[in-house]
Amino acid sequence: MPVLELKNVWKVYGEGAAKVEALKEVNLSIEKGQFVSIMGKSGSGKSTLLNSIGCLDVPTTGEIYLDGIDISSLSDSALAQIRGRKIGFIFQRFNLIPSLTALDNVMLPMMFQDSSREKREKRARELLAGVGLSHRGHHLPNQMSGGEMQRVAIARALINEPEILLADEPTGNLDSKTGEVIMHFLTTLHEKGKTIILVTHDTELSKKYAKVNYILTDGKLNGKKN
């Protein structure tokens, strides 16, 4: 059974002359443990597809199955619960909370899963060690480099042991050398069995790291290249 499956998904905004078809009959099936990229230019529908895959929005029509659960018509609270357990997000701009230390940023998603402070802190310290940042746990984001902040974001994405890591332009704000370090982390996680979905406009990045590459154009997913 696929870990993620989209069936005839459409997302439409507005009506009449203002109608915008952001996604058009999108079909996508991703197996557990795959490393997949979704490429597209600005305005292609990447953000809308990202929100749909990430349980941040539901389609106008069509079905989305996450680990066998149809999320297409779930309430916001139900989506939030599934999102917290099943998906880890890695963003281009890191999305760390400036007033929280690296350790507290990593622990944050576990707060919504009714975990004790002791359990959250133990797990967060293990993950920071795993990304080579044991010594940065009590530093604020503005005291870290871009690469360090992205590694904190990866640790945060892993805190609830999600089925899927959804990486949205994860190297977009980094220099090429630091970007390679981040992609190496993602590759290592993939080799350990994580399902990785890389959303990017960078063709070379997709070809180098992903095993399956999809192209999104004007809301349509135009096939895949192995």
pLDDT at position 172, please?
Answer: 87
pLDDT at position 142, please?
Answer: 95
pLDDT at position 197, please?
Answer: 95
Q: Is the pLDDT of residue 136 over 90?
A: yes
Superfamily of domain 32-59+69-225: P-loop containing nucleotide triphosphate hydrolases (3.40.50.300)
pLDDT at position 225, please?
Answer: 58
Beta strand 195-200 pairing with 35-39:
parallel
pLDDT at position 134, please?
Answer: 93
Q: Mean pLDDT throughout 121-143?
A: 94
Task: Please give the share of the chain, as a percent, with pLDDT higher than 90.
Answer: 60
* Residue 191 pLDDT class (50, 70, 90 cuts): very high
**pLDDT tens, residue by residue, 60-84:** 999 999 988 898 888 888 888 888 8
pLDDT at position 203, please?
Answer: 86
For residue 114, give Cα distances in angstroms to 38, 69, 73, 117, 119: 33, 22, 25, 9, 10
Q: Mean pLDDT throughout 170-176?
A: 88
pLDDT at position 83, please?
Answer: 85
Sign of torsion over alpha carbons 196, 201, 202, 207: positive
Q: Are the beta carbons of 150 and 129 closer than 8 angstroms?
A: no
pLDDT at position 223, please?
Answer: 66
The H-assigned helical ranges of the chain are 46-53, 76-86, 102-107, 117-130, 146-158, 176-191, 203-209
Task: Please give the share of the chain, as a percent, with pLDDT higher than 70.
Answer: 98
Q: Is the pLDDT of residue 148 over 80?
A: yes
* Residue 27 pLDDT class (50, 70, 90 cuts): very high
pLDDT at position 40, please?
Answer: 87
pLDDT at position 188, please?
Answer: 92
Domain ranges of the chain: 32-59+69-225
Q: Kindly report the average pLDDT of the chain as a whole number.
A: 90
SS3 per residue for 151-192: HHHHHHHHCCCCCEEEEECCCCCCCHHHHHHHHHHHHHHHHC
pLDDT at position 226, please?
Answer: 53
Residue 94 contacts by C-beta under 8 Å, 6 or more apart in sequence?
141, 146, 149, 150, 152, 153, 173
Task: Please give the backbone phi and psi of residue 185, each rounded to the nearest 5 degrees, phi first.
Answer: -60, -45
End-to-end CA distance of the chain: 20
